Amino acid sequence: MVETFYTIHSCPVSIALVTDTHNTPADAVLNSLRRRKPALILLAGDFVYADPPTAPGRLKMLESRYALLLLQGCALVAPTFVSLGNHEWMLNEADLELMHSYGVTVLDNCFASIPPGGTKVCCGGLSSARFTAYQTWRRKQSVSFLYPEPDRTVWAGKPEPCTGWLDDFERQPGYKILLCHHPEYVPRYLQNRCIDLIVSGHAHGGQWRYYSRRRQEWRGIYAPGQGLLPKLTEGIHGNHVISRGLSNNTPIPRLNNPPELVYILPANEQGSTQQESG
Q: pLDDT at position 122, please? A: 96
Q: pLDDT at position 270, please? A: 65
- Extents of the domains making up the chain: 2-277
List pLDDT tens digits, range 156-169: 888 999 999 999 99
User: 2-11, 107-116, 192-201, 245-254: which range is least confident on average?
Assistant: 245-254
User: Percent of the chain beyond pLDDT 90?
Assistant: 77
CATH architecture of 2-277: 4-Layer Sandwich (3.60)
Query: What's the pTM value of the predicted model, to 2 decimals?
Result: 0.94
DSSP string, 175-187: EEEEEES-TTHII
List pLDDT tens digits, range 199-249: 999 999 999 999 888 878 888 999 999 999 999 999 999 999 999 999 987
Q: Omega before 187 cis (within 30°)?
A: no
Instruction: Please name which of 273, 265, 274, 270 lies closest in space to residue 11, comparing C-alpha atoms.
Output: 265
Res. 187: pLDDT tops 90: yes
Q: Are 199 and 42 in contact (CB under 8 A)?
A: yes
